[in-house]
Structure 1
């Protein structure tokens, strides 16, 4: 019985620290944004470490004046609002992206980014 308990706890512990796999909803984001390194920018800035970062602050990326001047800290709540409607959240940003209407899909994207 102790062996089974040990194996169960070891399995749960291993899974607890595992990084989330990229959700299918992130494919739209990945067309422009990398998550491989903080300065691995594509058309858009790297999203590595975005949760807890100030908007427009990724080193080496040239932001739109709107996003570069936005006084936003990327909390999960602010990311949720931005992903739902980027043009309304930060008018004048350069993202050619309409947003993600489904809250569950936004949550999957945000949870994935929180692990990066």
Structure 2
């Protein structure tokens, strides 16, 4: 992962291993970050709502996350991720986190269509 790739996930497609309890089985598919809830009639319905990170403590209380959590889970393979350290009001510094031997690991994810 190069320094130019800090924010690659939210705007691009990437491979995901998904499970679909409705259709039984796992498959490798290309998906884009950002959950569009099943109840959305148009994309403007979710404008201003963050659908990037679900919170473990509230995942079963929110209709947006509840159904995907029960039926549509996935693994998002990655080589690393960035966390940002705020230095001052205008400056943030990225720190990359990887596995010691540089192997891939995965984030738990939810998907919807």
Same topology, TM > 0.5: no
Which structure's residues are more often helix, by fraction?
Answer: 1
- The structure number with the bigger radius of gyration is 1
Taking structure 2 as the reference length, the TM-score comes to 0.26
Structure with bigger RCO (C-alpha 8 Å, 6+ apart)? 2
Taking structure 1 as the reference length, the TM-score comes to 0.26
